[in-house]
C-alpha cells in the first residue's frame, strides 16, 4: 500500500466526504485550535472550514491524550488501528500518549454472512461448499480489520477462518491519504509538531498496517514459529491451511484449550500453574535470545493451555525480529541488573537510546544513577522486572530519549510474560528464569566463533566501501549530490550580523537625507517657511530623529 498525496483538493467525492467527517469529529473533541493553525480552510473547498463547533462535546475536564483516544475510536477502524500500532512505537510518540493509546479496544460489529461468502468465493476462486463441510454463521470474534468464524474442512478438520472486512483496504487508503495531507500541513505550520515528524509517523503506520492486512504474512509468521519449536513437545502452534489462505482469508487449525488467564479452570482441569508460568518464561527467552524471532504480543488472549501443560500460541499478526546488537545491549542491561553493576547498565542504556538533540548528559547520568541505586541494593525477591522496565521508559521519556522498536517489543514481551507468570504463580521470579539464558549469551559473545563471524561481517562491509564511494563520486559528477548542513549555536552571531547591517543601512539613509536636504536648501527649491525650503527642513528633522534613535539603540546595546 502506497500513500499518495492529495494535493490542493481531494480528488474524489469519497475523499471530500470522509475529510468532512474527520474534521467534524476533531472539532467535536476540541482540536479546532490545531485545525485552525494548520490552515485547513485555505486548502479545502465547499465550506469544510465552516463546520459547526457547537457539536463539540463537553470535554474540558479531559487531557489532550484522552480526547485524542476518544476521537480515534469515533473516527473508525483505520484510526483505531493506527492508535494501537503507535502504542507500540516509543520512537514515534511520547510515552504518556502510548499509555493512553494502549486502552484502545478493537471491538466492532460483525458484517453479515452474505458478504463473508462473497469474499471467500472471490479469494478462493471456488464455491464455499468446495472447501468447507460446515461454516458457522455467527463469528467468534470481530475486529476492525476482519472477523473470525469456526468451520470444518471437507477433510473433517476443525478450523478457524479469518475474513477481511469488505472494502477495508480502499477505506484505509483514503484515510491514509487524508492523514498524510494533514501531517504535511502540521509540519508546515506547527513548529512544535516537527519534532515528532508527523509524515514519518504516517509512513511508518502505512508500512505496519500494510503487513497486518495481508494475511499471508501472518501465515508465514505462524509457520516460521512452528519450525522454531518443532522439537519442543511443550509448545503447540496451530497448523496453517495454505490452500484456503490468501491475502484476505486466513485458515488455521482450531485449537480447543483453556485461556491462560482462567486460573480456576486450569486448576480444576488438573494442570499445574507453576509449571505453565515457568515454561512460558523459558519459551519467551528462547525466542528472544536463541532464535531472534519472537511473539511481540503474548497477552493472555493470545495464549491457551492444552493437556500436559502444553502452551499454545495464537494470533501471529504481531511478531518481531531482534538483531545481535540489540540482543547484546539488552543482555548487558539485564546482566548489569542481576550482577548489580551500575556502570554496565548506564553504558548500555546510552548505547541503546535514540535522540533528536543531544541530551544533557550530566542530568541524564544523575537520573540513571538515582534510578539504579533505588533498585540495585534491594533484594531481588519481591521485585518485579516489569515495573523496573516501565519506570526506566518514563526516565528516558523525561530526557526526550527513545527506545528503538525491537527493544521496546522485547521489553513489552518480557513484562507481559512476567504479568502472566505472577497471575499463575505468586512466587514467580522472572529474573531467576532469565539468568541461564543471559549466561549462555555472554558465553557465546566471547566464543572464538563469534569473533570470526563479527570479523567476516566487518569484512563484507569494508568490501562495500569502494562501491559506495564510487556511487557518491558518480552522483557528485552528475551534479546530483546533495550536502545538508545543519548549523547549531549560530543564532547569536546571525542576529549580531543582522543588527549591524540594519544600523549601516540606517546610517546610509540618514546621510542621504542630510545630503538631499542640503541640496534643496542650497537651491531654495519648493515652498519656503521663514526663508528656508520646507522640504529641506523636513529632511533635516527626519534625519535628526533617525540619528537620535540610532544613537540610543547603540548606547543601550553597550557597544559604542
Percent of residues in the chain assigned helix, strand, coil, to nearest 5: 60, 10, 30
* Separation between Cα atoms, residue 312 and residue 255, nearest integer Å: 8
Sign of the dihedral defined by the CA atoms of residues 10, 12, 14, 16, in that order: positive
* Separation between Cα atoms, residue 78 and residue 98, nearest integer Å: 17
* Separation between Cα atoms, residue 42 and residue 45, nearest integer Å: 8
Residues 6+ apart with CB under 8 A from 174: 14, 15, 18
CA distances 392 to 90, 178, 341, Å, are: 13, 36, 16
* Separation between Cα atoms, residue 532 and residue 527, nearest integer Å: 8
Q: Which residues pair with 100 in a beta bridge?
A: none
* Separation between Cα atoms, residue 540 and residue 554, nearest integer Å: 21
CB distance 288 to 322 below 8 Å? yes
Query: Which is catalytic among the residues 32, 91, 297, 425?
Result: 297
Decide if 297 is catalytic: yes
Residue 164 buriedness (CB in 10 A; 0-12 / 13-18 / 19+): buried
User: 235-236 and 310-313: which strand pairing?
Assistant: parallel
Read off the C-alpha cell for 323.
538483531
Reference 76, options 2, 220, 174; nearest CA is 174
* Separation between Cα atoms, residue 229 and residue 207, nearest integer Å: 28
Q: Which helix (H) or strand (E) holds 56?
A: none
* Separation between Cα atoms, residue 179 and residue 349, nearest integer Å: 34
Catalytic residues: 297
Amino acid at each position: 500500500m502506497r500513500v499518495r498525496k492529495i494535493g490542493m483538493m481531494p480528488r474524489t467525492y469519497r475523499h471530500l466526504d470522509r475529510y468532512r467527517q474527520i474534521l467534524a469529529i476533531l472539532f467535536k473533541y476540541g482540536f479546532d485550535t490545531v485545525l485552525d493553525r494548520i490552515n485547513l480552510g485555505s486548502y479545502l473547498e465547499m465550506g469544510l472550514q465552516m463546520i459547526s463547533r457547537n457539536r463539540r462535546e463537553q470535554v474540558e475536564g479531559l487531557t489532550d491524550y484522552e480526547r485524542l483516544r476518544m476521537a480515534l475510536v469515533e473516527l473508525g477502524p483505520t484510526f483505531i488501528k493506527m492508535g494501537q500500532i503507535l502504542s507500540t512505537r516509543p520512537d514515534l510518540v511520547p510515552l504518556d500518549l502510548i499509555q493512553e493509546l494502549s486502552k484502545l479496544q478493537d471491538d466492532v460489529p460483525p458484517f453479515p454472512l452474505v458478504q463473508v461468502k462473497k469474499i471467500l468465493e472471490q479469494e478462493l476462486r471456488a464455491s464455499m461448499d468446495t472447501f468447507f463441510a460446515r461454516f458457522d454463521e455467527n463469528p467468534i470474534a470481530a475486529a476492525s480489520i476482519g472477523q473470525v468464524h469456526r468451520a470444518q474442512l471437507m477433510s473433517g478438520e476443525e478450523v478457524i477462518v479469518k475474513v477481511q472486512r469488505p472494502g477495508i483496504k480502499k477505506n484505509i487508503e483514503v484515510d491514509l491519504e487524508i492523514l498524510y495531507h494533514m501531517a504535511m500541513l502540521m509540519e508546515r505550520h506547527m513548529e512544535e509538531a516537527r519534532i515528532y515528524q508527523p509524515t514519518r509517523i504516517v509512513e511508518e503506520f502505512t508500512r505496519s498496517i500494510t503487513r497486518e492486512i495481508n494475511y499471508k504474512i501472518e501465515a508465514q509468521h505462524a509457520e516460521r514459529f512452528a519450525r522454531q519449536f518443532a522439537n519442543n513437545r511443550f509448545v503447540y502452534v496451530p497448523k496453517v491451511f495454505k490452500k484456503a489462505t490468501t491475502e484476505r482469508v486466513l485458515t488455521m487449525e482450531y485449537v480447543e484449550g483453556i485461556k491462560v488467564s482462567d486460573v480456576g479452570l486450569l486448576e480444576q482441569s488438573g494442570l499445574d500453574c507453576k509449571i505453565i508460568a515457568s515454561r512460558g518464561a523459558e519459551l519467551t527467552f528462547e525466542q528472544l535470545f536463541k532464535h531472534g524471532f519472537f511473539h511481540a504480543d503474548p497477552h493472555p488472549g493470545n495464549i491457551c493451555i492444552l493437556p500436559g501443560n502444553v502452551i499454545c500460541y495464537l494470533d501471529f499478526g504481531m511478531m518481531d525480529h531482534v538483531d545481535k546488537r540489540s540482543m547484546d545491549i539488552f543482555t548487558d542491561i539485564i546482566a548489569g541488573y542481576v550482577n548489580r553493576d551500575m556502570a554496565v547498565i548506564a553504558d548500555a542504556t546510552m548505547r541503546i537510546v535514540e535522540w533528536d538533540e543531544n541530551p544533557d548528559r550530566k542530568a541524564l547520568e544523575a537520573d540513571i544513577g538515582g534510578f539504579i541505586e533505588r533498585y540495585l541494593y534491594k533484594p531481588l525477591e519481591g521485585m518485579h522486572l516489569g515495573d523496573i522496565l516501565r519506570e526506566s521508559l518514563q526516565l528516558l521519556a523525561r530526557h526526550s530519549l527513545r527506545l528503538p522498536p525491537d527493544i521496546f517489543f522485547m521489553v513489552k514481551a518480557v513484562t507481559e510474560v512476567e504479568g502472566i507468570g505472577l497471575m499463575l504463580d505468586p512466587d514467580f521470579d522472572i529474573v531467576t528464569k532469565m539468568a541461564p539464558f543471559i549466561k549462555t549469551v555472554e558465553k557465546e559473545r566471547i566464543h572464538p566463533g563469534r569473533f570470526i563471524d563479527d570479523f567476516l561481517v566487518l569484512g563484507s562491509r569494508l568490501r562495500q566501501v569502494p562501491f559506495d564511494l564510487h556511487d557518491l563520486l558518480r552522483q557528485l559528477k552528475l551534479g546530483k549530490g546533495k550536502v545538508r548542513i545543519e548549523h547549531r549555536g549560530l543564532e547569536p552571531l546571525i542576529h549580531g550580523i543582522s543588527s549591524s547591517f540594519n544600523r549601516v543601512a540606517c546610517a546610509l539613509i540618514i546621510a542621504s537625507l542630510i545630503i538631499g536636504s542640503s541640496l534643496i536648501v542650497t537651491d531654495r527649491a519648493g515652498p519656503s517657511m521663514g526663508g528656508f525650503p520646507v522640504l529641506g527642513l523636513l529632511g533635516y528633522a527626519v534625519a535628526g530623529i533617525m540619528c537620535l534613535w540610532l544613537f540610543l539603540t547603540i548606547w543601550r546595546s553597550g557597544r559604542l
